[in-house]
Structure 1
Amino acid sequence: MTLGPRRVVNGLDANGRSAIIIDDRREIDYPGGQFVWRCKTSPADNNSNEDAGAGPFENSCIHDRDGSSFAVFHFKPEDGLMGPGMHTTDTIDYIVVLKGRLEFHAETGIVELAAGDIVVDRGVSHGWRAIGDEPAMTAVVMLPAHPIGSGATI
Protein backbone atom coordinates (compact mmCIF):
# COMPACT_ATOMS: atom_id res chain seq x y z
CA MET A 1 0.00 0.00 0.00
CA THR A 2 1.09 3.54 -0.71
CA LEU A 3 -0.44 6.96 -0.36
CA GLY A 4 -1.92 8.42 -3.52
CA PRO A 5 -1.73 12.09 -4.45
CA ARG A 6 -3.44 14.74 -2.36
CA ARG A 7 -6.96 15.48 -3.61
CA VAL A 8 -8.55 18.87 -2.96
CA VAL A 9 -12.15 19.44 -4.15
CA ASN A 10 -14.20 22.61 -3.83
CA GLY A 11 -17.96 23.10 -3.66
CA LEU A 12 -20.55 25.21 -1.85
CA ASP A 13 -21.12 25.27 1.91
CA ALA A 14 -24.56 25.38 3.55
CA ASN A 15 -24.62 29.18 3.04
CA GLY A 16 -23.87 28.96 -0.69
CA ARG A 17 -20.26 30.15 -0.32
CA SER A 18 -17.33 28.45 -2.03
CA ALA A 19 -15.59 26.05 0.31
CA ILE A 20 -13.08 23.21 0.39
CA ILE A 21 -15.27 20.12 0.76
CA ILE A 22 -12.59 17.41 0.44
CA ASP A 23 -8.89 17.47 1.31
CA ASP A 24 -7.52 13.96 1.56
CA ARG A 25 -4.90 11.43 0.56
CA ARG A 26 -5.97 7.76 0.30
CA GLU A 27 -4.01 4.51 0.38
CA ILE A 28 -3.95 2.44 -2.79
CA ASP A 29 -2.60 -0.93 -3.88
CA TYR A 30 0.10 -1.54 -6.51
CA PRO A 31 -0.61 -2.04 -9.34
CA GLY A 32 -3.91 -0.30 -9.32
CA GLY A 33 -5.77 2.89 -9.54
CA GLN A 34 -8.04 5.19 -7.65
CA PHE A 35 -10.69 7.57 -8.84
CA VAL A 36 -10.02 11.23 -8.29
CA TRP A 37 -13.49 12.13 -9.59
CA ARG A 38 -16.24 10.71 -11.80
CA CYS A 39 -19.17 12.41 -13.52
CA LYS A 40 -22.06 10.26 -14.67
CA THR A 41 -23.22 12.81 -17.25
CA SER A 42 -21.89 15.50 -19.56
CA PRO A 43 -22.29 18.31 -18.89
CA ALA A 44 -21.44 17.47 -15.29
CA ASP A 45 -23.90 18.10 -12.44
CA ASN A 46 -22.03 20.13 -9.81
CA ASN A 47 -25.03 20.57 -7.49
CA SER A 48 -24.01 17.92 -4.93
CA ASN A 49 -21.11 17.83 -2.49
CA GLU A 50 -21.16 14.01 -2.60
CA ASP A 51 -17.69 12.51 -3.00
CA ALA A 52 -17.72 11.35 -6.64
CA GLY A 53 -14.27 9.83 -6.19
CA ALA A 54 -15.17 7.60 -3.26
CA GLY A 55 -15.69 3.88 -3.45
CA PRO A 56 -13.76 1.02 -4.97
CA PHE A 57 -11.90 1.39 -8.22
CA GLU A 58 -13.20 -0.83 -10.99
CA ASN A 59 -13.03 -0.85 -14.76
CA SER A 60 -16.65 0.27 -15.11
CA CYS A 61 -15.26 3.74 -15.85
CA ILE A 62 -14.19 2.33 -19.21
CA HIS A 63 -17.83 1.61 -20.00
CA ASP A 64 -19.42 4.86 -18.77
CA ARG A 65 -21.14 6.15 -21.90
CA ASP A 66 -22.37 9.55 -20.73
CA GLY A 67 -19.81 10.97 -18.32
CA SER A 68 -16.13 11.19 -17.53
CA SER A 69 -13.60 9.70 -15.12
CA PHE A 70 -10.38 11.06 -13.68
CA ALA A 71 -8.11 8.42 -12.11
CA VAL A 72 -4.57 7.94 -10.91
CA PHE A 73 -2.82 4.66 -11.81
CA HIS A 74 0.20 3.25 -9.98
CA PHE A 75 2.68 0.65 -11.27
CA LYS A 76 5.48 -1.17 -9.45
CA PRO A 77 8.63 -1.76 -11.49
CA GLU A 78 7.90 -4.36 -14.19
CA ASP A 79 4.13 -4.23 -13.49
CA GLY A 80 1.80 -3.49 -16.32
CA LEU A 81 -0.60 -4.69 -18.97
CA MET A 82 1.19 -6.47 -21.79
CA GLY A 83 0.72 -9.56 -23.96
CA PRO A 84 -2.71 -10.80 -22.87
CA GLY A 85 -3.04 -7.44 -21.09
CA MET A 86 -3.10 -5.53 -24.38
CA HIS A 87 -6.56 -3.99 -24.52
CA THR A 88 -8.83 -1.54 -26.34
CA THR A 89 -11.43 0.84 -24.92
CA ASP A 90 -14.36 2.88 -26.16
CA THR A 91 -12.82 6.00 -24.62
CA ILE A 92 -10.37 8.75 -25.41
CA ASP A 93 -7.87 9.01 -22.58
CA TYR A 94 -5.62 11.93 -21.74
CA ILE A 95 -2.68 10.54 -19.77
CA VAL A 96 0.11 12.41 -17.97
CA VAL A 97 3.07 10.52 -16.53
CA LEU A 98 3.53 11.96 -13.04
CA LYS A 99 6.56 9.96 -11.92
CA GLY A 100 8.75 7.05 -12.95
CA ARG A 101 9.21 5.55 -16.40
CA LEU A 102 6.80 3.52 -18.50
CA GLU A 103 6.75 1.68 -21.79
CA PHE A 104 3.63 2.36 -23.85
CA HIS A 105 3.01 -0.62 -26.13
CA ALA A 106 1.15 -0.56 -29.45
CA GLU A 107 0.84 -3.49 -31.84
CA THR A 108 3.58 -2.03 -34.07
CA GLY A 109 5.97 -0.53 -31.54
CA ILE A 110 6.92 0.67 -28.07
CA VAL A 111 7.73 4.15 -26.80
CA GLU A 112 9.41 4.97 -23.49
CA LEU A 113 7.74 7.64 -21.35
CA ALA A 114 9.02 9.68 -18.39
CA ALA A 115 7.53 12.14 -15.91
CA GLY A 116 5.91 15.04 -17.73
CA ASP A 117 5.19 13.09 -20.93
CA ILE A 118 1.61 13.09 -22.24
CA VAL A 119 -0.24 10.36 -24.17
CA VAL A 120 -3.52 10.74 -26.04
CA ASP A 121 -4.87 7.19 -26.15
CA ARG A 122 -7.61 6.91 -28.77
CA GLY A 123 -8.88 3.48 -27.69
CA VAL A 124 -6.78 1.30 -30.01
CA SER A 125 -4.92 -1.79 -28.76
CA HIS A 126 -2.28 -0.82 -26.20
CA GLY A 127 -0.55 -1.88 -22.99
CA TRP A 128 1.76 -0.55 -20.31
CA ARG A 129 4.84 -1.67 -18.39
CA ALA A 130 6.71 0.19 -15.65
CA ILE A 131 10.47 0.18 -16.25
CA GLY A 132 13.39 1.09 -14.03
CA ASP A 133 13.76 0.71 -10.28
CA GLU A 134 11.09 3.12 -9.04
CA PRO A 135 7.28 2.97 -9.17
CA ALA A 136 5.47 4.88 -11.90
CA MET A 137 2.27 6.91 -11.61
CA THR A 138 -0.07 8.36 -14.24
CA ALA A 139 -3.05 10.72 -14.10
CA VAL A 140 -5.76 9.78 -16.62
CA VAL A 141 -8.92 11.56 -17.80
CA MET A 142 -11.27 9.13 -19.60
CA LEU A 143 -14.10 10.32 -21.83
CA PRO A 144 -16.56 8.21 -23.85
CA ALA A 145 -15.73 7.80 -27.54
CA HIS A 146 -17.23 5.99 -30.50
CA PRO A 147 -15.69 2.53 -30.92
CA ILE A 148 -12.76 2.24 -33.29
CA GLY A 149 -11.93 -1.03 -35.06
CA SER A 150 -13.66 -3.93 -33.27
CA GLY A 151 -14.29 -1.84 -30.12
CA ALA A 152 -13.50 -2.36 -26.45
CA THR A 153 -11.95 -5.54 -25.09
CA ILE A 154 -12.28 -4.44 -21.45
Structure 2
Amino acid sequence: MAITNRRIVTGLNSAGRSSVLSDDTIDKLPGGTSEHPLVWATPGFPANNEGSDDPMAKQAVGPEMFSDGSGFVFMSEMEPGYSGPFHATNTLDFVFVTHGRVRITLEDGDAIAGPGDIIVDRGVAHQWSVVGDEPVVLAAVVLPAIPLRDAVTKASF
Protein backbone atom coordinates (compact mmCIF):
# COMPACT_ATOMS: atom_id res chain seq x y z
CA MET A 1 0.00 0.00 0.00
CA ALA A 2 1.80 3.15 -1.18
CA ILE A 3 1.31 6.38 0.77
CA THR A 4 -0.29 8.75 -1.71
CA ASN A 5 -1.43 11.58 0.56
CA ARG A 6 -1.07 15.00 -1.01
CA ARG A 7 1.57 17.43 0.25
CA ILE A 8 0.60 21.06 -0.36
CA VAL A 9 3.34 23.59 0.43
CA THR A 10 2.57 27.28 0.78
CA GLY A 11 4.93 30.25 0.66
CA LEU A 12 5.50 33.58 -1.00
CA ASN A 13 5.58 33.78 -4.79
CA SER A 14 7.88 36.09 -6.78
CA ALA A 15 5.44 38.98 -6.19
CA GLY A 16 5.63 38.43 -2.42
CA ARG A 17 2.07 37.11 -2.19
CA SER A 18 0.99 33.95 -0.39
CA SER A 19 0.55 31.08 -2.80
CA VAL A 20 0.82 27.32 -3.28
CA LEU A 21 4.45 26.55 -4.14
CA SER A 22 3.98 22.83 -4.69
CA ASP A 23 1.12 20.35 -4.72
CA ASP A 24 1.95 16.70 -5.28
CA THR A 25 1.46 13.29 -3.76
CA ILE A 26 4.01 12.01 -1.24
CA ASP A 27 4.92 9.02 -3.40
CA LYS A 28 6.37 11.44 -5.99
CA LEU A 29 8.86 12.97 -3.51
CA PRO A 30 12.45 11.69 -3.18
CA GLY A 31 12.18 8.59 -1.02
CA GLY A 32 8.41 8.87 -1.28
CA THR A 33 7.95 5.22 -2.13
CA SER A 34 9.90 4.03 0.93
CA GLU A 35 8.23 2.81 4.12
CA HIS A 36 9.09 6.14 5.80
CA PRO A 37 8.65 8.97 3.27
CA LEU A 38 9.80 12.39 4.48
CA VAL A 39 7.22 15.17 4.08
CA TRP A 40 9.24 18.18 5.31
CA ALA A 41 12.37 19.01 7.32
CA THR A 42 13.98 22.08 8.79
CA PRO A 43 17.61 22.12 9.92
CA GLY A 44 16.98 24.18 13.04
CA PHE A 45 14.68 26.41 15.02
CA PRO A 46 13.15 28.79 14.51
CA ALA A 47 12.48 27.52 11.00
CA ASN A 48 13.39 29.80 8.10
CA ASN A 49 10.35 30.38 5.87
CA GLU A 50 12.25 32.55 3.36
CA GLY A 51 12.58 31.48 -0.26
CA SER A 52 10.67 29.00 -2.35
CA ASP A 53 13.12 26.09 -2.47
CA ASP A 54 11.74 22.72 -1.45
CA PRO A 55 14.12 21.11 1.06
CA MET A 56 12.67 17.72 0.20
CA ALA A 57 13.78 17.89 -3.42
CA LYS A 58 17.05 16.16 -2.49
CA GLN A 59 16.34 14.47 0.81
CA ALA A 60 14.82 11.29 2.20
CA VAL A 61 14.32 10.30 5.85
CA GLY A 62 17.22 8.54 7.52
CA PRO A 63 18.17 7.50 11.05
CA GLU A 64 20.67 10.37 11.39
CA MET A 65 17.81 12.88 11.31
CA PHE A 66 16.70 11.73 14.76
CA SER A 67 19.92 13.06 16.32
CA ASP A 68 21.07 15.98 14.13
CA GLY A 69 18.80 18.68 15.60
CA SER A 70 16.40 18.69 12.64
CA GLY A 71 12.67 19.00 12.96
CA PHE A 72 10.73 17.02 10.38
CA VAL A 73 7.48 15.41 9.34
CA PHE A 74 7.30 11.94 7.84
CA MET A 75 4.81 9.21 7.05
CA SER A 76 5.35 5.56 7.95
CA GLU A 77 3.73 2.42 6.61
CA MET A 78 4.04 -0.89 8.43
CA GLU A 79 2.67 -4.17 7.10
CA PRO A 80 0.83 -6.80 9.18
CA GLY A 81 3.31 -8.83 11.25
CA TYR A 82 5.78 -5.93 11.53
CA SER A 83 7.53 -5.54 14.88
CA GLY A 84 10.31 -2.96 14.95
CA PRO A 85 13.38 -2.68 17.14
CA PHE A 86 13.24 -1.40 20.71
CA HIS A 87 14.83 2.06 20.51
CA ALA A 88 14.83 5.64 21.79
CA THR A 89 15.63 8.93 20.10
CA ASN A 90 16.54 12.42 21.34
CA THR A 91 13.25 13.77 20.01
CA LEU A 92 9.71 14.71 20.93
CA ASP A 93 7.43 12.85 18.52
CA PHE A 94 3.76 13.52 17.78
CA VAL A 95 2.53 10.36 16.03
CA PHE A 96 -0.89 10.36 14.35
CA VAL A 97 -2.45 7.01 13.43
CA THR A 98 -4.28 7.39 10.10
CA HIS A 99 -4.94 3.73 9.23
CA GLY A 100 -4.82 0.41 11.07
CA ARG A 101 -3.84 -0.33 14.66
CA VAL A 102 -0.40 -0.10 16.24
CA ARG A 103 1.04 -1.12 19.60
CA ILE A 104 3.67 1.00 21.30
CA THR A 105 5.55 -1.18 23.77
CA LEU A 106 7.44 0.59 26.53
CA GLU A 107 9.76 -0.62 29.28
CA ASP A 108 6.79 -0.72 31.65
CA GLY A 109 3.57 -1.37 29.73
CA ASP A 110 2.09 -0.71 26.33
CA ALA A 111 -0.82 0.96 24.53
CA ILE A 112 -2.72 0.18 21.33
CA ALA A 113 -3.74 3.09 19.10
CA GLY A 114 -6.02 3.25 16.08
CA PRO A 115 -7.19 5.77 13.47
CA GLY A 116 -7.53 9.25 14.93
CA ASP A 117 -5.37 8.49 17.97
CA ILE A 118 -2.26 10.54 18.72
CA ILE A 119 0.79 9.23 20.56
CA VAL A 120 3.18 11.75 22.14
CA ASP A 121 6.52 9.97 22.53
CA ARG A 122 8.82 11.97 24.78
CA GLY A 123 12.14 10.33 23.88
CA VAL A 124 11.58 7.13 25.85
CA ALA A 125 12.56 3.60 24.86
CA HIS A 126 9.79 2.03 22.77
CA GLN A 127 8.92 -0.44 20.03
CA TRP A 128 6.24 -0.27 17.30
CA SER A 129 4.22 -3.37 16.29
CA VAL A 130 1.28 -3.79 13.93
CA VAL A 131 -1.89 -5.12 15.58
CA GLY A 132 -4.26 -7.06 13.33
CA ASP A 133 -4.25 -7.98 9.66
CA GLU A 134 -4.21 -4.59 7.97
CA PRO A 135 -1.31 -2.20 7.36
CA VAL A 136 -0.70 0.74 9.70
CA VAL A 137 -0.08 4.24 8.36
CA LEU A 138 1.34 6.86 10.72
CA ALA A 139 2.12 10.55 10.28
CA ALA A 140 4.74 11.92 12.67
CA VAL A 141 6.00 15.37 13.60
CA VAL A 142 9.49 15.02 15.11
CA LEU A 143 11.20 17.80 17.06
CA PRO A 144 14.69 17.77 18.61
CA ALA A 145 14.76 17.35 22.40
CA ILE A 146 17.21 17.22 25.27
CA PRO A 147 18.25 13.56 25.80
CA LEU A 148 16.69 11.72 28.74
CA ARG A 149 19.61 9.29 29.15
CA ASP A 150 23.30 9.16 28.36
CA ALA A 151 23.03 6.05 26.18
CA VAL A 152 20.33 6.48 23.56
CA THR A 153 19.91 4.01 20.73
CA LYS A 154 19.63 5.71 17.35
CA ALA A 155 16.56 5.14 15.21
CA SER A 156 16.63 2.12 12.93
CA PHE A 157 14.91 1.75 9.57
Normalising to structure 2: TM-score of the pair?
0.87
Q: CA deviation at 1:149?
A: 2.2
1:70 to 69, 73, 87: 73
- Is the contact between residue 26 and residue 39 of structure 2 (CA under 8 Å) also seen in structure 1? no
> Contact 1:90/1:151 (CA < 8 Å) preserved in 2?
no
Alignment of 1:1-154 (within 5 A): 2-27=2-27, 28-29=32-33, 32-54=35-57, 55-65=59-69, 67-81=70-84, 85-154=85-154
Confirm or deny: 8 A CA contact 1:76 1:130 kept in the other structure: yes
Amino acid at match of 1:73: S
SS in 1 for 2:148: coil
Listed as ranges, the gaps of 5+ residues in structure 2 are none
Question: Greater strand share, 1 or 2?
Answer: 1
Q: Which amino acid in structure 2 is aligned with residue 75 of structure 1?
A: M
Aligned mates of 1:121, 1:4 — CA distance in 2: 25
Matched letter for residue 74 of structure 2: A
Contact 1:89 1:151 in 2 (8 A): no
Q: Is the Cα contact below 8 Å between 1:88 and 1:151 reproduced in 2?
A: no
Name the SS of the counterpart of 1:33 in structure 2.
Answer: coil
Q: Which runs of 4+ in 1 moved over 6 A?
A: none
Equivalent pair of 1:98/1:136 in contact (CA under 8 Å):
yes
SS at match of 1:23: strand
Tell me the number of residue pairs that the alignment of Structure 1 and Structure 2 aligns: 149
Is residue 74–residue 139 contact of structure 2 (8 Å, CA) maintained in 1? yes
Q: What letter is aligned with 2:110?
A: I
Distance 1:50 1:113, change over 3 A: same
Aligned-pair identity (%)? 34
